[in-house]
């Protein structure tokens, strides 16, 4: 796992974010992508020691394309100079939630978990209802010392508690959320040694697991919307 090669390719793409450069350097992309997939495979084995539900995944099925959708963006650069992957029992789908990794030079990399998507109304309702019913368990998870040391729950949120929910509920602030996720920022220096990084990432994902388990339990029975 050649982490410097990954970082160099992404840095070069960031500095030459155009289709001509991208197509002229397909060999460099292929080499960097192969190293990233090797990294994901290593993470699968490591995570699998405490979460066997993800062991069946193949790295190539967990990664996201570099191409950006620029239709509704002011930034028209065609590529996102980042390698990304989501590792869960159902692959890279946002539900069930799993373990997310983004490598982006410039100290923009991070490890993530939880539900990042906020457009699935059924998923949002299911998690809100779980927090209403099992708020004590929720609090225990997010205030566990190792968790609280590394993570703070983030997410898209409403200004007020939505209709149908008690504004005085002990977890009222979390009922405002439409998504519930975690991010652990990574500096470029932390990515240079692949073995050390895999050990660090696996340890942090292990700490994250009870949070993911809570959300996935709440999301039992959720069906991803089908495209028309």
Q: Which residues contact 30 (CB under 8 A, 6 or more apart)?
A: none
Mean per-residue pLDDT of the chain: 95
Q: 3-state SS string over 37-85?
A: HHHHHHHHHHHCCCCHHHCCCCHHHCECCCECCCCCCCCCCCECCCEEE
Q: What pLDDT does 68 receive? A: 84
Q: What pLDDT does 227 receive? A: 67
Q: Which residues contact 93 (CB under 8 A, 6 or more apart)?
A: 86, 224
What angle separates helix 26-47 from helix 3-15, to the nearest 10 degrees? 130
Choose between 103 and 77: higher pLDDT: 103
pLDDT tens digits, residue range 161-178?
A: 999 999 999 999 999 999
pLDDT tens digits, residue range 59-79?
A: 999 999 999 877 777 778 899
Alpha-carbon distance of 189 to 78, in angstroms, equals: 27
Choose between 146 and 71: higher pLDDT: 146
pLDDT tens digits, residue range 109-130?
A: 999 999 999 999 999 999 999 9
Percent of the chain with pLDDT over 90: 93
Q: What pLDDT does 228 receive? A: 56
Say yes or no to pLDDT of 81 above 80.
Answer: yes
Q: How sure is the predictor about 135, in pLDDT bands with cuts at 50, 70 and 90?
A: very high
Q: What pLDDT does 22 receive? A: 96
């Amino acid at each position: 796992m050649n982490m410097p090669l990954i970082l160099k390719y992404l840095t070069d793409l960031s500095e030459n974010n155009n289709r001509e450069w991208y197509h002229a350097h397909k060999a460099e992309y292929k080499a960097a992508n192969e190293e990233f997939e090797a990294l994901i495979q290593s993470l699968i084995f490591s995570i699998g020691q405490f979460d066997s539900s993800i062991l069946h995944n193949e790295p190539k099925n967990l990664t996201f394309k570099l191409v950006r959708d620029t239709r509704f963006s002011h930034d028209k650069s065609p590529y996102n100079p980042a390698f990304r992957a989501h590792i869960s029992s159902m692959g890279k789908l946002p539900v069930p939630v799993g373990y997310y990794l983004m490598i982006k030079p410039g100290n923009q990399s991070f490890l993530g978990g939880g539900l990042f998507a906020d457009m699935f109304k059924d998923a949002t309702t299911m998690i809100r209802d779980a927090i209403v019913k099992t708020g004590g368990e929720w609090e225990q998870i997010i205030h566990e010392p190792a968790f609280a040391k590394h993570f703070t729950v983030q997410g898209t949120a409403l200004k007020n508690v939505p209709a149908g929910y008690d504004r005085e509920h002990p977890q009222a602030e979390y009922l405002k959320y439409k998504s519930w996720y975690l991010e652990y920022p990574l500096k470029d220096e932390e990515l240079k040694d692949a073995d050390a990084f895999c050990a660090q990432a696996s340890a942090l994902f292990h700490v994250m697991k009870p949070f993911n388990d809570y959300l996935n339990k709440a999301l039992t029975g959720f069906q991803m919307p089908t495209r028309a």
